Structure 1
Amino acid sequence: MRTLLTIPVYNEEGQLGHVLERSLPYAEDILVVDDGSTDGTLDILKDFPSVKLHQHAQNRGYGAALRSAFAYGCEHGYDVVVTMDSDGQHEPDLIPRLVKASKDADIVSGSRYLATFDEDTPAPKDRRRINLLITDQLNACLGLQLTDTFCGFKAYTRSALEKLHLTEDGYSMPLELWVQAACHKLTIVEVAVPRVYLDPSRSFGETLDDSDARMEYYQRTLDRAIAVARRRVGCGLELRPRLQEANR
């Protein structure tokens, strides 16, 4: 299968070179989507002439960078598009495993909670709490069996991507993705990947470093995605009442 590895990047001059060096043995074609970096990220790419580059003139957000990656992969006829974060938390040697699993699935999603690895690091408590709550909610209202909503290490078939109509620019884009995947009855498989937090204090930007604000932002995106799905494809999803931390 013709595969494209895509890496969304925003101000990652400290990690990008290392990530690309480790990825090259496992990916014949690599696309970096630079989301308006203002540091030396683009200078790093000069040392990797085989790596393709798509640039956003301004910072638009994680979801917008992934949409550009998906569009590139579809337009250039790749069978599978793999997404991997640029901060060094994903293991490139697992790329072949995700690609192999995509032979029998529309979306293959890494999960940091399916198995235990020697290199695992503790998840920040607020991130783990929010991931649990949102994952429970998605599973309840969409009939999924996810264990990790937000892992950015994924493989998508082109046929799956061509069914999606994603609009969310920010970090909540995966919620819109899961809603549409469920509506289109896409086959989803999770693959265990290590849980590595090199910088647990990494900022989400603006107000989203506040966990309550971030949870509300995710909830709004989920509510909106389900409302849009009902109108567009009539899949009849029912959103269960919001889960509260006290109920866990």
Structure 2
Amino acid sequence: MFEGVLIKMITELANPIQYYLKLPNDYINMNQLLERRIAIKFVKHECLNCHLDKPIYRQGFCKSCFYEVPQAADWVIRPELSKAHLGIEDRDLSYEKKAQLQPHIVYLANSSDVKVGVTRKNQVPTRWIDQGAHEAIELVEVPNRYLAGITEVALKEHVADKTNWRTMLKNEIKDEDLKEWKNRLKQYIPEEVMPYYLENSTELNLNFPVLTYPSKLKSLNLTKTPEFEGVLKGIKGQYLIFEDNTVFNVRGNEGLVVTISVIR
């Protein structure tokens, strides 16, 4: 039996993708649990910042921490609001400079439909794996988060910027020619970003460890259903997929302390 506070699974680019659940005293290769019956039990909350047993509000933080820590500021979700390149502080300028003033990638990914997104360069391809994208391509590489943000804002007028998680988990998807999409959207990239356009980027294809995709979806909420048991049939994005069509979003439950038991 394993116990600890949930944080998003660590991933490794392989064929198929390898998933690891890191707990305080354990490191579980989740791929090895496929076809095994496992039990998950909710124990308590533990805010990822203050570590107190307080209800999780968003992103693994209690409500007070969510509105205080720089990791949850608005610019994280809306990169066009980044101001560190101007020397303007939001919550913690030192943290914001480290996070914002580094190379960022604007990309196209196909997880439910083709979407545009932004990530730090050092998070490629982790970001695509976390979104459950089966194919992705880089558009531009810019020196800060702000330039990536204004590019995303310009492009999402012409392509989606969100993933339909239900479509992604059911695998109701089709392959797209992302090179063609990239060429089509090039005209909408802001003029100041065009020098950073990646002319020769190529599409990356990703294969997830899923034995059976669910036909219907039942989302597991451990605070409402504190104990669950099922046979693990797949892992995609940050979701565990079980035999009875139950899906569990590990990242969406960050800050929950759980026990995980391998029954057979």
- Normalising by the residue count of structure 1, what TM-score does the alignment of the two structures yield? 0.25
| Higher strand proportion (structure 1 or 2) | 2
Q: Which has the higher contact order (CA 8 A, sep 6+)?
A: 2
Q: Per residue, is there more helix in 1 or in 2?
A: 1
- Give me the TM-score of the superposition, normalised by structure 2: 0.24
Q: Higher Cα Rg: structure 1 or 2?
A: 2
